[in-house]
Structure 1
C-alpha cells in the first residue's frame, strides 16, 4: 500500500515516524515498547503518525532488540479421544491472549513427543511452550524440566514438582457431581467417562475426574461405579445397556464425555429410563452443550477459555522473569438445570412396564 507521497507503507521506518511526529526516534521506540513513561499528548501524536504513515514495526527487528522470537509453541493433542469443539475453544483463547501479549503461536502436534520439544528448544523459533493433554506419566515432562525455554502445562502429571501447571480441578469436579446426586437422595450412582483409549494413555483429567467421583461417593456412604464410554452411538448405547444390566437400580448418572453425551441422552428413554424421572444426569461439559441438550443438563462447566487465558498469562510472566505458582487449579462451578431431580421412590419405568 502506498502513502500520499508515494512511499510504500512497508518501507516506512521508525525515523520517518519520528520526523512526522516531531519527536526523537527513541521516543517512538518507547511508545512502541512501553519501556518508559511518555506523556499522553506525545504518545497520542506518535500513534497518530504511525496510523497515518501505516508504519508496522519489523518483527525481526523487534526480536533482535528484545532477544525474543515473540512466538510461543502450543502442543495440540490431535488424537483419538479428544473432543474437538472444546479443544478449539481452548486454542482460540490461547491464540487471542498471545496476540494481546504481542506473541504469535506456533502449533505443534502431540505425536512429536519429547523429540518435538527438543527440536524447538534447540532453535530460536519460540520463546516458550504450552503443552496440552498431559498424561500422569508423561514422557515429555523430563524434557520440559530440562528445556532452556519457559513452559506451562495445561493439565497435571502425577508429579508436577518444578513445573507450571494450570487446569480445571477435575478431581473436585468429579466429587461435586457425586455430591449433587447425593444431596438429591441418590444412593446408587455411576460415571460414564472418557473413551477407553484416554484411560489407556492414563490422561490426567480423566483419571482425576474418576478418582474424585469415587472418593466422594465413598466419603458420602453411597454406592458408585465408574467405567469408560466410547464416542460413537453404538459404543454409547452398549455402555448404557451394560451399565443398566450390571446396575439396574442406578438412579444417578454422571457423563464426562462430550462426544457421547447426546447419544447417552438419546438411548436412555429407549431403554425405559426417563430423564430425570428415572435417572438424573449430570454432565461435565461446556455450558453451551449443557444448555442445548434436552432436557437442559445440570453440569459442571469446562472453562476452556479461562484455562487458555491463564496458561498464556503464566507463560508471559515466566518470560518476564516474574514468579508464578507451580499449580493453578480452577474451581468447578455446577449449574443445576432440568436433568436432575430427587431420587425416584418407585421402580424405574422399564421395571414398571415389565421389561
Structure 2
C-alpha cells in the first residue's frame, strides 16, 4: 500500500509538504504541487477521506440509507446498492452503507458528523417519516422510490404502476378474463412502501379498464407460502388463467407449485412477473416480465446527487419507463369446455 512518505520520496519533498498539498493548509509553489500530483498519479496513491475532505471541504462520501426490513429481497436490494457504489466510484466517491431501521436519528447522526456529503435513500414509504427532515438537511439527498408528496425532494424510480398495467394489458390482449396479482410480503403493504402500493394500483386500474375479474394476494416470501397460495387460488378461482407476480423470491416456487398441481404453463395458466432479468431469463421456461433496471436506477440516482452537489437544478421526479418482454410463460387462455349436449 502506497503511503504519504512514498509520495514524498518520489517527489523529492518532505511528507509535510505532501500533506500541505492535499489539505491546502499552507501555500506551496505551483511547481512543487504539480510534482506531487504527478507522483500521486504514478504511484497510485489514494489519500484517505479525512485528507481529501480538508482539501475540498467535503468527505467525498455518499451515505446509502438502506434499512434491512422484513419483506425485502436481499439479492435485488444489493443490486441497487452495487449500482450506487459503482456509480459513486466513477465520481471518485465512496459509499457509507446505513442498514439500521433508525429513521431520522441515523440521518441526524451522519449529517451532524460530516461523514457524508449527501444521502441516497431507499425503501421509501408513501408517508415516510424521514421526509420532513430530508427537506431541511444541509446535505442534499436523492430517493430511490417516491412518496405520496415528492415536493421539495428529488426522486428516481421505475414506473411501477405502469409496470403492472403493462402485465395486465399483455394478458388481456391474449384473451384472459380473470387475473390475479401475487404481491409482496404483507409487511411491505403495512409499511405502505411506495413501489408495492403503485403495483397494486396499476394492476387494479388496468384490470378494471379491460373489464377483467381480478384479485390481489400479498404473499410471504417463502416456497411454502407460495405453494399454499397456489393451492388456494386453484381451489377458489378455477377460472383463473393469468397471474402477475411482484415478489421476486417466490417467482420460481409459485411456477413450480402451479405445475405440481397439474397446470401447464402457459397452456392452462399464464405467468408474468415484475422482476430483474436475472430472474426471468434463465428460468427453465423463460418468464414474461417487466424488468427492474437496478443498474440504471442506481446510476441515475448518483448522477442526480452529484448534480445537486455541484449546485445544479435537477428534476423533482425522474420516472424510468417500463418495458415488457414476452417470453414462454404467457399465451392465450385455454378454450372454454364445450357445453354438454342434451
Residues 11 and 311 (structure 1 numbering): CA distance in 2 closer, same or farther, change over 3 Å? Answer: same
* 1:78 alignment counterpart: 68
Verify: 1:109 aligned to 2:106, yes or no: no
- Report the secondary structure of 1:340's partner residue: coil
* 2:172 alignment counterpart: 182
* 1:64 alignment counterpart: 54
2:242 to 239, 244, 252: 252
Q: TM-score, normalised by structure 2?
A: 0.89
Verify: 1:205 aligned to 2:195, yes or no: yes
Verify: 1:93 aligned to 2:83, yes or no: yes
* 1:24 alignment counterpart: 31
Task: Please show how residues 308-323 of structure 1 align to structure 2 within 5 Å.
Answer: 308-323=298-313
Deviations 1:26-84 (A, max 9, x none): 5568xx7xxxxxxxxxxxxx4xx444445444543321121111111001131211111
- Report the secondary structure of 1:278's partner residue: coil
Paired with 2:67 and 2:178, the residues of 1 have a C-alpha distance of 35
Instruction: Measure how far apart 1:166 and its partner are.
Output: 0.6
Verify: 1:9 aligned to 2:6, yes or no: yes
Question: Any stretches of 5+ residues in structure 1 without a counterpart?
Answer: 33-45, 348-355
Verify: 1:122 aligned to 2:129, yes or no: no
Instruction: Measure how far apart 1:221 and its partner are.
Output: 1.7
Question: Any stretches of 5+ residues in structure 2 without a counterpart?
Answer: 19-28, 338-342
Number of residue pairs matched?
A: 325
Paired with 2:44 and 2:176, the residues of 1 have a C-alpha distance of 65
Instruction: Measure how far apart 1:215 and its partner are.
Output: 0.4
- Report the secondary structure of 2:259's partner residue: helix
* 1:268 alignment counterpart: 258
Instruction: Measure how far apart 1:120 and its partner are.
Output: 1.1
- Report the secondary structure of 2:65's partner residue: strand
What is the CA RMSD across the aligned residues, in angstroms? Answer: 2.4
Paired with 1:236 and 1:54, the residues of 2 have a C-alpha distance of 52
- Report the secondary structure of 2:331's partner residue: coil
Instruction: Measure how far apart 1:329 and its partner are.
Output: 0.6
Verify: 1:227 aligned to 2:217, yes or no: yes
Paired with 1:13 and 1:64, the residues of 2 have a C-alpha distance of 23
Residues 56 and 271 (structure 1 numbering): CA distance in 2 closer, same or farther, change over 3 Å? Answer: closer
Paired with 1:331 and 1:28, the residues of 2 have a C-alpha distance of 49
Paired with 2:172 and 2:52, the residues of 1 have a C-alpha distance of 57
Aligned 8 A contact 1:9 1:54 in 2: no
Aligned 8 A contact 1:12 1:53 in 2: no
Aligned 8 A contact 1:237 1:267 in 2: yes
Aligned 8 A contact 2:7 2:43 in 1: no
Task: Please show how residues 45-64 of structure 1 align to structure 2 within 5 Å.
Answer: 46=38, 49-57=39-47, 59-64=49-54
Deviations 1:98-134 (A, max 9, x none): 1111111111024111111111111211100011010
